[in-house]
């Protein structure tokens, strides 16, 4: 046991060193001001109506309105059904995380080390003044990190434990739960913006959103869309719900575990404009994972959410 603890401590120490190096590199790389930091969209009514994509805009707005109303009634129904039931009691508690402390610390180290390599590569590009497309380099870096996280998680945690099986019932259950949560998320977005405005805090948008709005090349944009809609949700759910949440869940109850892992999820997205919505979204993802006991449900939930957001971003990109 002491030997195992020694190995665990070594990996924890190496992880901390890598984190410090990442912070140092981030501070060393000069950053340009975000062009879309405070973007506002002025809609010209005539221009909007004559826009060739206007019918798609109408369909999107109509679809979202129906989804929100459906979700609102679903939410009321859910509250009424569970008035006398404990909300956070779960029957499926038969799948504890199948990793030792040493394996868990090793997994964390490999993921942080992978991130360090990417940041170091970006630092070299800046220092050596290499002629590369900066937006393309960011997209490629994200690809390596997301793919690496997926491969590392799958290597250490068996797919039979995570359960990637998808069937119609699971898909419909996940869609229904997302629509139920949608009105809450919409309300949280307004609350988050109200708090930031009252506190006089400058808003910062998600780096992925800024990247999406900056890219003009169609091929690169398509590649980014694939990352946002599919690759990102898979990597993030495997890491945050499949691993981080389960690490907390080995020792603590649902609420503390969900809040702790979700807070980390929100912080790492580096956007105060989305901080509270991301926190609530991540807690919902933990709830879905706990209820279904399979990782495919939060992945699908995440894909639906990102696809909806991306639809509105595409609308902004077309109209601006």
How far is residue 141's CA from residue 138's CA, in Å, rounded to a whole number? 5
DSSP string, 179-227: HHHHHHHHHHHHHHHHHHHHHTPPP---HHHHHHHH---HHHHHHHHHI
> What is the pLDDT, as a whole number, of residue 162?
87
pTM of the shown model: 0.87
Q: Kindly list the distances between the CA atom of residue 46 and the CA atoms of 52, 53, 87, 112, 316, in Å, as whole numbers in the listed order.
A: 12, 13, 49, 51, 17
Q: Mean pLDDT per 10-residue run, the chain (320 residues)?
A: 72 91 78 46 57 73 86 87 72 71 90 90 79 82 91 89 86 92 90 86 75 84 91 95 91 91 88 87 94 92 93 73
Q: What is the pLDDT of residues 22-50, one digit of tens each?
A: 888 877 766 554 444 444 445 555 666 66
Q: What pLDDT is stored for residue 2 in this prediction?
A: 54
Q: What is the dihedral of CA 298, 304, 306, 308, to 10 degrees?
A: -150
Q: Residue 23 has which token pair?
A: 């912070």
Phi first, then psi, for residue 31 (nearest 5°) are: -120, 145
The residue assigned the tokens 């868990």 is 104
DSSP strands (E only) in 18-163: none
Residue 195 tokens read as 């708090």
User: To 10 degrees, what angle do helices 134-156 and 101-127 make?
Assistant: 170
- The 10s digit of each residue's pLDDT in 247-260 is 998 888 899 999 99
Taking the C-alpha atoms of residue 186 and residue 258, their distance in angstroms, rounded to an integer, is: 20
Rounded to 10 degrees, what is the CA torsion of 243, 249, 255, 261?
A: -30
Cα→Cα distances 49→39, 53, 58, 238, 315, Å: 22, 9, 10, 43, 14
Q: What's the confidence (pLDDT) of residue 206?
A: 75
**End-to-end Cα distance, the chain:** 61
State the pLDDT at residue 230: 94
Task: Report CA-CA distances (Å) from 139 to 73, 142, 214, 268.
Answer: 39, 5, 12, 17
């Amino acid at each position: 046991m002491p030997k195992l603890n020694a190995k665990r401590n070594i990996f924890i120490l190496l992880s901390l060193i890598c984190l410090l190096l990442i912070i140092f590199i981030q501070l060393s790389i000069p950053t340009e001001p975000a062009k879309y930091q405070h973007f506002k969209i002025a809609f010209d009514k005539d221009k909007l109506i004559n826009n060739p994509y206007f019918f798609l805009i109408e369909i999107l707005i109509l679809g979202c309105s129906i989804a929100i109303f459906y979700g609102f009634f679903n939410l009321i129904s859910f509250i009424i059904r569970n008035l006398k039931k404990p909300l956070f009691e779960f029957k499926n508690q038969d799948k504890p995380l199948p990793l030792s402390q040493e394996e868990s610390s090793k997994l964390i180290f490999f993921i942080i080390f992978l991130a360090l390599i990417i940041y170091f590569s970006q630092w070299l590009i800046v220092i050596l003044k290499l002629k590369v497309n900066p937006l393309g380099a960011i997209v490629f870096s994200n690809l390596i990190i997301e793919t690496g996280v997926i491969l590392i998680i799958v290597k250490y945690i068996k797919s039979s434990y995570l359960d990637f099986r998808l069937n119609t019932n699971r898909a419909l259950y996940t869609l229904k739960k997302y629509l139920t949560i949608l009105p809450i998320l919409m309300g949280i977005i307004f609350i988050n913006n109200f708090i930031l405005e009252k506190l006089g805090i400058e808003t910062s948008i998600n780096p992925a959103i800024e990247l999406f709005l900056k890219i003009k090349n169609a091929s690169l944009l398509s590649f980014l869309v694939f990352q946002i809609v599919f690759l990102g949700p898979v990597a993030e759910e495997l890491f945050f719900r499949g691993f981080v949440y389960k690490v907390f869940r080995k020792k603590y109850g649902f609420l503390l575990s969900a809040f702790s892992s979700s807070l980390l999820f929100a912080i790492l997205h580096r956007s105060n404009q989305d901080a509270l919505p991301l926190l609530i979204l991540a807690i919902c993802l933990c709830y879905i994972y706990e209820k279904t006991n399979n990782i495919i449900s939060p992945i699908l939930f995440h894909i639906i959410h990102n696809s909806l957001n991306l639809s509105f971003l595409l609308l902004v990109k077309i109209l601006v």
